[in-house]
Amino acid sequence: MTQQPDLILMDINIRGSHDGIELADIIHKSNPIPVIFITSLKDDETLNRANQTQPISFLIKPFNQTQLQRIIEITVRKLSEGKTGNSKNEEWENDFLFQEHFYVKTRQKLEKIAIENVLYLESDKHHVWVYSI
């Protein structure tokens, strides 16, 4: 991929050799991309592990379109104002400009989605559906 995403929505409970927390940590070691964790887990141990990767925020499942939109808006505002409290992210926090797209993993690859075409997102434990015009 030649372009990096501006923001990662990362489910904590994903299939594979790493969970979402481990994957976010791996990503942060090479690219300081902000992460919003999506989770249905509310236990302290998981949240403490996730906090060690310095996510920008959490979104608790189940959530609706309005909740998703608000958390992204708040995140973009925090980033554009440089109020992340995360010194690791100084490289991008002052220059952050939320682009007109985001990425969704589809069949083991990332698919670029234009925000202007999204009506809403829906997810369950294993899938994210993007409904667009």
pLDDT single digits (tens) 29-81: 888 889 999 988 777 888 889 989 989 888 888 888 888 888 888 888 787 77
Average pLDDT of the chain to the nearest whole number: 77
What was the pLDDT predicted at 89? 46
Q: 43 with 12: CB under 8 angstroms?
A: no
Query: Is residue 44 one of the residues assigned to a domain?
Result: yes
Residue 88 has pLDDT above 60, yes or no: no
Total domains present in the chain: 1
Q: With both helix axes pointing from N to C terminus, report the angle between 20-30 and 44-51 in degrees, rounded to the nearest 10.
A: 10
Query: Is residue 2 one of the residues assigned to a domain?
Result: no
From CA 128, how far away is CA 121, in angstroms rounded? 7
From CA 7, how far away is CA 33, in angstroms rounded? 6
Residue 24 has pLDDT above 60, yes or no: yes
Query: Is residue 25 one of the residues assigned to a domain?
Result: yes
pLDDT-based confidence at 15, cuts 50/70/90? confident
Q: How many residues does the chain have?
A: 133
Question: Domain with 38 in it: what CATH number?
Answer: 3.40.50
Query: Is residue 121 one of the residues assigned to a domain?
Result: yes
pLDDT-based confidence at 23, cuts 50/70/90? very high
Query: Is residue 56 one of the residues assigned to a domain?
Result: yes
Query: Is residue 3 one of the residues assigned to a domain?
Result: no
Which structural domain range is residue 25 located in? 8-132
Query: Is residue 26 one of the residues assigned to a domain?
Result: yes
Q: What is the DSSP string of 28-61?
A: HHH----EEEEES---HHHHHHHHTT--SEEEES
From CA 116, how far away is CA 100, in angstroms rounded? 7
> Residue 25 belongs to what H/E stretch?
helix 20-30
Query: Is residue 125 one of the residues assigned to a domain?
Result: yes
Q: What are phi and psi for residue 123, nearest 5 degrees?
A: -145, 160
